[in-house]
Structure 1
Amino acid sequence: MRRPVAGAVLVSAVSLASVASLAGCSSADASEDEPQLKVTGAFMPRPVSDMASGFLTVANSGGAADKLTSVTSDISDDVTIHETKDQKMRQVKSFGIPAGGELNLARGGNHLMFMGLKKKLEEGQRISVELHFEKTGPIKVDLPVKETTYNPTRH
């Protein structure tokens, strides 16, 4: 009678080892199913009033989409994200960042909007912002202040 018990213990041990190895595989695969975000090309044209715009690109090399949901900065208590359609801008709650794709905030298009700036900004300064996402943790980015007419597509 002891043999069947030993065999049952061996089968149970093999089953547990199989489950453990499968769990290890799925947790490794989970990282491929997460957004992997990187911010590039960030800048702010020098503002001429107490409002400013910010531009950048968020690339997502991961296997899952994410969303930019908000932006905070010590330069303004009112930073929003704006969509531009048919030459009209409006505030939106989020911007999608597709898996394997990017979100491009550019002049003449979607952008960050800073209202009620707390101080005058000059070319050469760097403005710190924190980007908040639906799935990914916050990302801190410095926006260099460029000349008022700066457009990277023309430089």
Structure 2
Amino acid sequence: MNRRTTLAAAIALTAGLALAGCSSDSSDGKPDLKIGQAFMPEPVSADMAGGFLVVNNDSKTADKLTKVTSDISDDVTIHETKSQKMREVKSFDIPANGRLDLERGGSHIMFMGLKKKPKQGEKVSIELHFEKAGAVKVELPVKESTYNPKHH
């Protein structure tokens, strides 16, 4: 009984990785990326929203986030914020054994021309496209517009 539940948990945990076509013991040199802290603050305007998440790379292979797609918008871009200025970029580097932080006040995903305005409590499906790891589906839970998961 116990063994079966452990196995089920292990399968549930690895299912997410299997979708991305990579596992930590893979010899194909693909990065081992884990996505966490994903959320979208409830948009204040009806046509644009921001998305935030952290990509941890637990491998010796660097990768790049090259594109984000979503069924909620046909115009999803990635922006970096440097010295209070926001600009669209073609890709974000994810260093080997490092992380990419998309956070409030910093780099983020921008959704323009929303097909519908996401409400708090809903989830927005997005797909992150990585140069090496391929496409990874992520759900962004919609939080209150002021939500900020910053750890102090």
TM-score, scaled to structure 2: 0.80
Aligned residues: 127
**Larger Rg, first or second structure (1 or 2):** 1
Residues 1-155 of structure 1 mapped to structure 2, 5 A cutoff: 31=27, 33-49=29-45, 50-153=47-150
Calculate percent identity across the aligned residue pairs: 69
What SS does the corresponding residue of 1:138 show, helix, strand or coil? strand
Query: Could you say which structure has the higher helix fraction?
Result: 1
Gaps of 5+ in 1: 1-28
CA positional deviation for 1:32 = 7.5
Gaps of 5+ in 2: 1-24
CA positional deviation for 1:31 = 2.1
113-122 or 30-39, larger mean C-alpha shift: 30-39
Distance in 1 (CA, whole Å) between partners of 2:26 and 2:116 is 44
Contact 1:32 1:62 in 2 (8 A): no
Distance in 2 (CA, whole Å) between partners of 1:40 and 1:146 is 15
Shift in CA distance, 122/138, structure 1 to aligned 2, threshold 3 Å: same
CA positional deviation for 1:84 = 0.1
CA positional deviation for 1:30 = 7.3
What SS does the corresponding residue of 2:124 show, helix, strand or coil? strand
